[in-house]
Every structure is written in structure tokens, then in C-alpha cells.
A = this chain, B = another copy of it.
Amino acid sequence: MSGNSAEVKFLDGVKIVDFTQFEAGPSATEALAWLGAEVVKIENPKVGDPGRRIIPGKPETDPYYFHMFNANKKSLTVDLKSPKGLALVKDLLKKADVTIENMAPGTIDRLGLGYEAVKALNPGIIYASVKGFGAGSPFEKFLAFDMIAQATGGVMSVTGDADRPPAKPGIALGDTGTGMLMAITLASALYNKQKTGQGCRLQVGMQDAMLHYMRIGLSSQARTGKVTGRNGAKMAGINIAPSGIYPCKPGGPNDYVYVFCSRANPEHWTRLLKVLGREDLIDDARYATPQLRFERFEEVEAIIREWTKNHTKHEAMQLIGQAGVPAGAVLDTMEVQNDPTFEARGIMQVMHHAKHGPYKMPGWPVLINGRSATLKPSPMLGEHNGQVLQTWLAMKPADVAALQGEGVIGQVDMPKAAE
């Protein structure tokens, strides 16, 4: 814990049995872990979450990916295909407030841990499922990953250049975007459960979740009557100027500054002209409104480019932004990673992991009473076997050791991710 972060206890006491893997599910439970819930990740004793590795069969080959979506969680390794392992997990489910899974369609039911089975064990449980396609969809049984959700949810059709095939946003909206909607619903269901004692079933399809993020494209279509297309760096379906990226020196692949003059504030254009040294155009009727400027789109682009090409993107952002015009440098992943202001404010924190070494990564970005939530290491596979079984089920060390001996759970005395 450092000065800019503190442990958050909003969801203190909330117990989550987490069967999720990869990202769509883990991103949801990680958010709740950062906010104070106790998240116990149930993993296969031999290989664990496939998100732990980038090469099948080679463990721990992608620790960074795993850290990203599993910080602040605990790991318990259980063989779900052994009767004793299944019984053990059922005992945990009886103590849980929430359980969540994002396995392939039908898998959780085949394990004997479907909604009806778990509800029978614990009627007050909040039972959540994340799938590629929603319940009742014609594609309900189809497999999906992030990119399939982005394709079928409309996202790719509005991303990229108009004269090129669709592009996939470089962010995992299908996964984390879906996980966040489930996390909101889970936290709200917990509020209700705290008051009423009632559980519920929650289900989300990643394709359906994409519609939530597609609402600008859909509302533009409703207004224009036309399919919303791709528009490069500009907004799809909205024709105003200036709105886009302008090249800066020294001309690298991400040396651009975004400049936007809002329709809602005519002052933005006047302020911009002053920065550009083009006060002569302030009262020029040809450029008086965003729509008129759009009609003279090429001229407006040239006026701005003439100035930006003589500045770096950082200078351009500083000068235009401080003048009260929305502006932003296009930052690449290395610039984001190395920008010291994120760490200074607790938005990025260093994960001190005993095995993988220190790694600076984003934590939960919402400040709570001025501080971010303290980032804790992602767990080693099975790291919390002993601790969880002793605290949740009041097992004695000898009982835990016996379960290990029978192969029901993985190794108990695992190395710890942090001392």
C-alpha cells in the first residue's frame, strides 16, 4: 500500500466462488475484488485457468495477461470431475453470496453445477453466467471469443477506414466490456440481497452486451435513416469540423493530435484559431458553424495541419488544450506504460509478485475518497487452498492434507505470490 492507494472495503464480507476463465468473466470478478469482495478462483489442479499461459501445455508463459484480470483474487485448485472435489465445491457454494461461470455452453451443467443444482444448495445465491450469445439466441450453443462478439454485435462494422474492410477495435470490448455490465448487475444484486436475502440468476451474452456500447451508431442511424459506416479517426455518422486527428512532428505512426470543436460550444473554434495564429478567420462567415466548416472540410484540415506539423503531439495537446479546446495526443502503449503521471496518481500500480517480479499495470481507475484501490498480486495456482478451506469450511490442516493426498485438491503448501 502506498500513499495514493488504500484497501477498499465496499464489498467487505462478500464471498464469490469464481469458475470463470480468460477475460469476460475474470474482469467482472476482479472489479468486485478491487472493491473488497473475497473472490476464490476455482482452478484445475494441473493446468489452471488457460489465461495463465499463451502456449498450451506451457504454464505461466503469459503472466502479464493473467495478472491483468486476476489481481486481488485467491486461487483454490479442485478436481471438479472427482466426486469429492464436486462435493467440496458444493460446500463452498453453500457459503457463497455469488457464483459466476463463463464456460462453453452446456459445460457447467454437465459438471452438475448448473443454476438449478446450485440454487437447490443455496436459494439465496446470485448465480451469473457469461456466454458468447444470449439465452434464447439462435446461436446460443455457439462458441465465441471477444472478436466474435465484436463482429456480430456491430462494433467492427463502424470501426476502420471507409474504403477498407472492417477493423476490430484493439481493445477487448467483447470481453471486458461485457464483464463490466455483469459487474454492475452483480453489485446491484448484492445490494438487493443484503436487504432482502434474495438471490437471483443473471445471464449475459457478449453479442448482446456489444449493443450497449453501439448506441451512438444506432442512434445516428435512427436520425439519418442510413447504415452507420466507418469513419477512420472521426465520429461515425456525425459530420462536423474540425473533428479528427492532425499529423505532428516527427511523423511517426502515432504522431497525431486529436482536435474537436463541439457543436454545443462555438467558442471552441474561436479559441482554436487564436492558438493557430489565425485570428483573421475568427469572423469569417465561411467557417462560422461546425456544419459550414464541414462543407469546407479540406480547407479546415489544411489550416490546422499547417500548424500541427510544426509541433510534437505533446506540444500541440498542451497548447490547444490549455486554450480551452478539446485536444488529445494519440498515445501508444509504450507512452501509456511509461507515463509517470498514472503511477503518481495510483491509476497504475506495481504488482509485487514473488515469482514474476514487479510489474506496473493499471488498477481500478475510480478514486475512492481520493485514493485508488490497492493492487494485490494475482494468485499462484492453488496458493490459497489451505487458507480458503480452513476459513470458509473450518477444516483442520489434517483434513486439507488428506484431500491433497487423494488428489481432490492440488498442492497445499504452494509458494505465495507475495510474502
Contacts and interface: CB of A to CB of B under 8 A. Distances in A.
A281 interface: no
A359 B172 CA distance: 29
Given A203-B366, A334-B227, A64 B219 contact: yes
Interface string A204-218: 110111111111111
Nearest to A12: B192
A160 B192 CA distance: 42
B365 A212 contact: yes
A400 interface: no
Given A172-B213, A181-B366, A10 B155 contact: no
A321 interface: yes
Interface residues on A, range: 35 or more
B230 A142 contact: no
A208 B365 contact: yes
Contacts of A391: none
A269 to B, nearest CB: 13
A410 interface: no
A188 interface: yes
Interface in A121-171: 132, 134-139, 141-145, 147-149, 151-161, 164-171
A312 interface: no
A348 B211 contact: yes
A134 B371 CA distance: 11
Interface string A380-394: 000000000000000
Contact of A167 (B14, B147, B159): B159
A275 to B, nearest CB: 13
Contact of A184 (B144, B173, B183, B217): B183
A370 interface: yes
A170 B137 contact: no
A232 interface: yes
Interface stretch (A74-82, A87-95, A253-261, A300-308): A253-261
B147 A215 contact: no
A164 B245 CA distance: 12
A151 B329 contact: yes
A324 interface: yes
B209 A365 contact: yes
Nearest to A344: B136
A2 interface: no
A336 B153 contact: yes
12 contacts: A9-B192, A32-B188, A62-B219, A136-B341, A142-B321, A143-B324, A147-B235, A151-B257, A156-B254, A166-B254, A170-B230, A201-B368
Given A155-B171, A185-B366, 4 more contacts: A149-B328, A161-B167, A177-B180, A204-B366
